[in-house]
Structure 1
Amino acid sequence: MKVLTDKIIKTEVMLCPCCMETHEVQTVEYMDKTVYNGVELGTDTISCYCSLADTYFEVDEIISRNYRVLVETYQKLMENKNEAGN
């Protein structure tokens, strides 16, 4: 679930894979809520935004980064739960 609080990280002219036009595409960061291993997590997610198609998309390096942040957030939460339980 995307929370609409985009922070623009950068803007670049590129061939947009969503609309197949060359135009300015924004790279944005926002808080996203995701369920991972049965646990709801809030993470800072990065996506690209196509204003012509009014849609978000992710390229390979962004997908990898977002997954890494998700796993790290989950691991920290589990570590904190284990420490609190001891």
Structure 2
Amino acid sequence: MNVQLLDFPEHVERTEPIRQRQQELLAFDVSDEALESEIKKLMLELEDITDAAASEIRSELNSIWEFKDDYSVQDNWGAVQEQKIEMKKLA
């Protein structure tokens, strides 16, 4: 059995596009229910934070939900995750 092995850089070059596609968020990966659930969870966590930054995050989360159909699933999920990071900075 004579199998030729690729060197590592060549292997990475050939397999990286496949790996990148596997990393992409697919439309069926995040449902409306999951998006809504994540937003509601973050809103509940924000109830204890009453400063202006928390109000801004609430407003952003409401906007994400209100205009979710105007953006891709990836964009919506990314925007929610950005607000999650901002919220954690407040805690």
TM above 0.5, one fold? no
Structure 1 or 2: larger helix share? 2
TM-score between the two structures when normalised by the length of structure 2: 0.30
TM-score between the two structures when normalised by the length of structure 1: 0.32
Structure 1 or 2: larger strand share? 1
**Higher-RCO chain (CA-CA 8 Å, sequence separation at least 6):** 2
